[in-house]
Homo-oligomer: A and B are copies of this chain.
């Protein structure tokens, strides 16, 4: 209980802002994440966020980095159990449709993924997991890429609800993923 009398200092403003941001993100999309609104929601002045984030993009990058870390954690968990590529694909897509706006944000072109930082590291780590799953054969490298592209693309199509409605009923979703992933050579091998 840090509820001191004077709450001039928040205690964990950075974390509070990130929490509020994640809520706002999934509720109304990334464009609805405004520093002023977050400050308001957390009960702090409109310029306070700038003590913890250089600018809006920095905050969004932190959010995206969290996303990559959580995705990596889920993939690692699946890897620990059986580790078939099929199951990792399921976990990947499950994460994507469970956090659609966050997933979109993680691949948003607004975020500069080039000059490194937390985002670049987290993304690299997550994708490293996919790569390690397959052999290092030059031939199979394109197989990894194909699996990644397929899973990523299917996630996007699902998130954007671009598929026929009957295919997207939640109970049939696992089967859908399975049948689609089944069209990769490497999975059946």
Contacts and interface: CB of A to CB of B under 8 A. Distances in A.
A55 B123 CA distance: 35
Contacts of A48: none
A150 interface: yes
Contacts of A157: 145, 148-149, 152
Nearest to A106: B160
Given A149-B154, A154-B153, A159 B109 contact: yes
A77 interface: no
Oligomer copy total? 2
B145 A163 contact: yes
A183 interface: yes
Interface string A113-139: 110000000010001000000000000
In the A-B complex, the 3 residue pairs with the smallest Cβ-Cβ separation, listed nearest first, are A153-B153, A149-B153, A152-B153
Given A109-B159, A183-B185, A185-B185, 13 more contacts: A101-B109, A107-B156, A113-B160, A113-B161, A114-B161, A123-B162, A142-B176, A146-B181, A146-B184, A149-B149, A152-B156, A153-B156, A184-B184
